[in-house]
Amino acid sequence: MTTPLFLLRCVQIGLSISELDLLTIGTVNDMYAEMSNDDWDYPEIATQEMMDRF
């Protein structure tokens, strides 16, 4: 990953320069991957009862 691509991802996530002092590159990549999952329509969402059985 290049520096411009990393900074673009930070802007897309909404991170500020001061927040980058607290995060690693891996954390930013994970946040970016999770951001792209936000619009996914999950077919089934776990209930509390399902979690208790788990």
Could you report the per-residue pLDDT of 1-16, keeping only the tens digit for each? 899 999 999 999 999 9
**pLDDT tens, position by position, 20-48:** 999 999 999 999 999 988 888 888 889 99
Both tokens assigned to 38: 């936000």
CA angle centred on 24, ends 22 and 28, rounded to 5°: 100
Parse the chain into domains and list their residue ranges.
Answer: 1-33
d(CA 24, CA 20): 7
What is this structure's pTM?
Answer: 0.68
How many other C-beta atoms lie within 10 A of the C-beta of residue 28? 19
